[in-house]
Amino acid sequence: MLLYNVKLSSISPNKENSFRNILREINREIWPFIDKGDVIGEFYHEFLKYSSGDGTGLGIVLTPSHIADLFCDLALKVLGRERFNSEDKILDICCGTGSFLVSAFGRGASKENIYGIEINPGVYNLALTNMILCGDGRSNIYNKDCFDKEVEKIIKEKNCSIAFLNPPYSQKKKKDSEGKAEIEFIEHSCDLLKGGSLVFAIVPLSTAIGTKHKEERRRIMKKHTLKAVMTMPSDLFAGNDSGSHSCIMFWETGRTHQGEIWLVNWKEDGFVVHKGKRIDKEKKWPKVKQQWLNNLWKKDKYSSVFKQLEWKDCWLADAYVETDYRKLSEQHFEKTIRDYLAFRISVLEEKKNEN
């Protein structure tokens, strides 16, 4: 990791301010008091808040730790297990600081079966550090463009069976992977896995609307099956200074899309925004998550529905579920107006990036 930082590597290991001694100090004075999770992700999240840039200019939208854990819970629920085993090979082609990999490692995935790709050298170093702090110093993480043919060949030979993904959100068109739409990252993840594998991705709502990315949506449905789309809270990425409204997509690889898609609104996770950061102030999340998992694949006319849909259709529950007018209040109207304003701002930002 020091190879990428000339200043740090030039300091003698015997000096007090050397990188080695800094790590030793952290390990002795701080590490015993830290909850062993996505440490580097949390640190980087805080760093971006106080730095000159929040990362959104690069399409960086950090995955909240409870969402990374939710992805593992969803995968295990589908598999009918409580822990990953030695047969599960897990891939993240845009691994960032390693949030999904850390969560998978904590849920039983072996260090030999975790694979990550990260194009940004600095963020790649953070991912390596994150895994080391979690007790895994031998993860297969590559500092490459995930569309690089060499790394494609390596990953395909691994026969991965699960992919987690939070792709870079669409930027101005470039020649590398940063210029691709989110649906193309999902397609690429699906293509890299063996048939019958599971792919979970969190992406902007625009990915699920039929008026955008028409050719990409048509192409992915010819090869893979969309099983479910979950609409997430509108302020999910508030702590990342991002206005992106998002949804989780669950795909099954290797089979042309057919059958119904389960669409559900998961718009309330119990978190609230406090001082610019989303927190589970009233400790609602464990109960909410368990309710979501218990109701997986169930139908409710006000929140979830099964629909036979094609590439050109809208893949969001709001387009098909009924409105429960009995629960409407003045606060709902205020929230709707706030959500709409946030959505309009995100659309304007997206158009600005495209110009």
Give tens-digit pLDDT for 263-315.
999 999 999 988 778 899 999 999 999 999 999 999 999 999 999 999 999 99
CB-count burial class (<10 Å; 0-12, 13-18, 19+) for 11:
middle
pLDDT > 80? residue 32: no
Q: Are 234 and 42 in contact (CB under 8 A)?
A: no
Distance CA(206)–CA(190), nearest Å, equals: 20
Q: Please tell me the predicted confidence (pLDDT) of residue 172.
A: 44
**In the numeric block, which tokens belong to residue 331?**
């606060």
For residue 201, list its beta bridge partners. 165, 249
Helices (H), 168-282: 182-192, 214-223
What does the domain layout of the chain look like in residue ranges?
A: 1-33, 38-354
**In the numeric block, which tokens belong to residue 323?**
């409105």
Pick the CATH number of 38-354 from 3.40.190.10, 3.30.70.2660, 3.30.565.10, 3.40.50.150: 3.40.50.150
**In the numeric block, which tokens belong to residue 8?**
């740090």
Which residues of 133-222 form beta strands (DSSP E)?
140-142, 162-165, 198-204
Q: Any idea what DSSP says for residue 300? A: B
pTM of the entire structure?
A: 0.80
Q: What is the mean pLDDT of the chain?
A: 83
Q: Please tell me the predicted confidence (pLDDT) of residue 83.
A: 97
Which of 189-193, 295-299, 316-320, 334-338 is predicted least confidently? 334-338
Distance CA(172)–CA(351), nearest Å, equals: 9
Distance CA(261)–CA(258), nearest Å, equals: 9
**In the numeric block, which tokens belong to residue 95?**
């691994």
Q: Any idea what DSSP says for residue 323? A: P
CB-count burial class (<10 Å; 0-12, 13-18, 19+) for 229:
buried
Between the alpha carbon of residue 247 and those of residues 204, 231, 266, 299, the distances in Å are 6, 4, 9, 18
